[in-house]
Homo-oligomer: A and B are copies of this chain.
Amino acid sequence: KMAPGIGGFGGHYIIGDKCYVGGTDGVGTKLKLAFETGVHDTIGIDLVAMCVNDIVASGARPLFFQDYYATSKLDVDLAEKVIKGIVDGCEQSDCVLLGGETAEMPGFYAEGEYDLSGSAVGVVKVDKLIDGKNIVEGDILIGLPSSGIHSNGFSLVRRVLEKSGLSLSDQLPINDGITSTVGEILMAPTVIYVKQVLEIISKGGIKGLAHITGGGFTENIPRVFPPGLGAKIITGSWKVPPVFKWLQQVGNIDDAEMWRTFNMGIGMVLVVSREAADRIIEDSHGSNPAYPIGEVIQGKGVCYA
């Protein structure tokens, strides 16, 4: 029997030659943006993404998802929008929506607000479990692009937004030509990497996977490394989306805090052999891009070059 690691990756439980992997999460204060924008039909995608991306980070295939939706007074139309997003997220991750609970909790939530959590269970053969133990110096870090902020760091995002004086229907002043509104950019649903990552894994050479969530690059990448190894990130090797530049400038946030909070445009990091890296980059294409973003070095933690 296992106690949950607060903040840890999903738990592992081995039965015979199979390892079951659990992933459970919420979407944090991104919900407050959903309340403010009125966009409720994609927050369920974020919810599923947070859980199944953790599972696929062990090389496991998600099997089941269950959700919990709690509010003080049930608004059926609103709940249906949220659940539509959950159903979409389950489809994107080839995962079965096994159950759900809609709880009315008078006096717990402010009017029009709700909380949302989900849990997924996945499975992988024990000998295919990806746990980083074979990572060596010189392995390559491959980044898969995010759609934006994803589902972490929203308390800071909301402070910056307030300070900026922008409304959710404005465009970002730093936008590299992207004309989406602030609300659209911030609410962009989290990428579900399940199908892309399982396909890459099936071709071999994947040694470790880091889902970039709370703690950003700095805290998530080292979690997959054996002792004595660290990551060198080549910061110019991909295009950081303008929303992060805007957050940093308006919020007067130093580089270290940016890297420790946000995904900076990369939502999943693969640690792979050099041979696999060449193949993965060659195979990557428009809708499923993958960039080399750094390498494994002697040391610990993450350094940014």
Residues of A at the B interface (CB closer than 8 Å) are 1-7, 10-11, 13, 20-26, 28-29, 31-32, 63-64, 66-68, 70, 79, 83, 87, 90-91, 96-103, 105-109, 113, 115, 117, 119, 121, 155
Contact of A101 among B3, B25, B100 (CB under 8 A): B25
Contact of A22 among B24, B25, B98 (CB under 8 A): B98
9 contacts between A and B (CB under 8 A): A3-B97, A6-B100, A24-B67, A26-B105, A29-B107, A31-B105, A31-B108, A70-B115, A108-B109
Cα distance A28–B71 in the bound complex, in angstroms: 10
Contact of A117 among B10, B13, B21, B70 (CB under 8 A): B70
Cα distance A67–B66 in the bound complex, in angstroms: 11
Contacts of A20 in B (CB 8 A): 63-64, 98
Contacts of A26 in B (CB 8 A): 68, 70, 101, 103, 105
Given A4-B102, A22-B64, A24-B99, 20 more A-B residue pairs with CB atoms under 8 Å apart are A1-B87, A1-B96, A4-B67, A4-B99, A4-B100, A4-B101, A5-B100, A20-B98, A23-B99, A25-B101, A25-B103, A26-B103, A28-B103, A29-B106, A29-B107, A31-B105, A68-B68, A70-B115, A70-B117, A99-B119
Cα distance A117–B67 in the bound complex, in angstroms: 9
Q: A83-B3, A105-B29, A107-B29 are in contact. Are A24 and B70 (CB under 8 A)?
A: no
**In the complex the two chains form, is B13's CB within 8 Å of A64's CB?**
yes
Cα distance A68–B68 in the bound complex, in angstroms: 9
Contacts of A25 in B (CB 8 A): 68, 101, 103
Chain B residue with the shortest CB-CB distance to A103: B26
Q: How far is the CB of A129 from chain B (nearest CB, A)?
A: 15
Contacts of A100 in B (CB 8 A): 4-6, 11, 24
Chain B residue with the shortest CB-CB distance to A94: B1
